[in-house]
Structure 1
């Protein structure tokens, strides 16, 4: 079995490299966060108090993003290889063994990627710590700590999350009849497993509890510390309900553009609607990134407006660049890598699809335009969901502060949306162009 596990990892390296990069980025961010907690616990006192409060917000933002990106990447990795797993069963590999092999592959990639990410964080963490906390008097001259125990905890935790994220897909790979998988490697299913249902209900409860407990009469620093978590929790609700919510939003807004507008748009729209695991894996990370950035700046601006209304001055909750980096740097890195990697992984697997389109008369420029429209469809869907999360969070915050409306930060959302679109375009167009260089008979040949 070990030989099968390792040989298939090598053979499908293009797909596994995509999820590996996502896990490496997660390990890097997780190690930075663990370093903050370890440094605080070693020094104690004011250092521990300051780092614990910072790390708690970082953990909140990072955990939400990591759960989304790791689960999506793990599920997509398995979905792209259902045809291979079906062939294994046809040559005599038992379904139970297929599931074991898939989980073993996820475990190996998860542990290796997380450990590599932690190692990459070791030389970066001291310099980042000095830059972020250079204005904090209590942090001057503080020695940083990121030891083996913290790295081990981060590595194991990420490995467990990767396994849990891919568990349902691994069971599907083992249970799907080979004939069904060979007929269509990715049937258009929209299902909410019990774990997602529990997560959705739990996050909705957390949003309701936090919204009810927002105290507009408290000090601005206390209120901001609570309110800044509201939009990320709303984004977590959207992500947990993604298998149901993402396709609905995608279908709703794309239906507004008539199919007769463009043949390339019709192909891109249908592909994005049909390949649900690929669409969800691309939309989820970008949606979370938009919501986190938009929510953080919207909270800051809305709180500042409330402070100005109360005191007559503009001094409110401000966002220093180093604060934004430590809070959003990790989640944005995870989201960007995940969005690009997932589209990159699936683009390679669609070589046969591109060849079929060419075989019926389409030209390479037409297929490239289809890829562009598909990336746009993913990005617009993510923007709609991210903006909705930000708007809902801003409305609740403004209501708690007795303001007529929220100061929604459109520039922050626009910046992240534009960057995400560029990443999706690069990850979609370049692999498509590379696939088009393969001769059509060779691409359509039976594997």
Structure 2
């Protein structure tokens, strides 16, 4: 009897082993190799001017709109002329998004004015100047008539561009030289308004562009309180960028205001960082001899885009090194197929290897396609892109009812793809940083 019991026990053990082996054989796993190359991607990368020779395949464009060109007559907006000049219709159709900055004072070589003549006639209490910045006219931004007109023109801009996501980023804009919220008051110019009035300008932007990401040059109190992003127009300059990062970490003074800047060290987890390369250092220096410092500054800043002064492609190595470190880098690390009674469960592990999140809650879909690439099934994934921080991974699963899939490739010509849909175009627009084929903007998983 003891011998019979031993044989039965051995048989049950082997049966259990067999069950485990069958289970393991039925569950199939694929590991994907990361793509370490640099490439432009949706909502991140370089943002050159619309007519820039460096536009190449960038998916962002920078537009600086001067009030004078937007509203040449009071209440009359030059939409057709602006669309023709910047090619907005074509950019939207191609799935290219905008970085917009609205400005009232851009120093130049000749004496000029960037606000409309009709507005100058109604206000005229600003300062004509000629400084080492250049020549121009700096308005009195505290003027009530000026502020009311500013509110109207921003509302008109927001209505014209719409809420379809075409305008991805809006840099504030409006106040100071180049819209950078500083004025050469030491030269006798009318100074910047106080915090209460500055916050009114921020409110104008928030009302006009409810779906865009708003960025400010400095971390003002309202920047932190409202969860806005920031931009650094001295990118690549070690000392100035260190000062800017210090504002973000510790807050500090703004002009004669001791507590106007608020510390917001972790804001980048929820709001984006932009900017452009400094003009005070040669591009060759930033992209060659000081490339490691330039990349480190971009990484420390958690930047998503740079423009309109972007890296020059002459320095291809530096161009790509910076590009690779802008924004998110999403990839599938592992796919698992688990067959069940009603179909196949697909489990994906998705990782962010970049320096920033993907800040938009775009739809992430798994597609079952036929051999021609036509979707047979579209399954939304419960993936929270904005919450996928750098270095983190999310696991999502969906079940394809009535479908049997195999990693062997014998799936009746069907394939499994992954895509993230740009709501502006309705097309899959995000490239995953993994080595796999891309079809119709989707990563081919099987």
Same fold (TM over 0.5): no
Higher relative contact order (CA 8 A, sep 6+): 1
Q: Hey, which of these two has a bigger chunk of strand by percent? A: 2
**Normalised TM-score (structure 2):** 0.24
**Normalised TM-score (structure 1):** 0.24
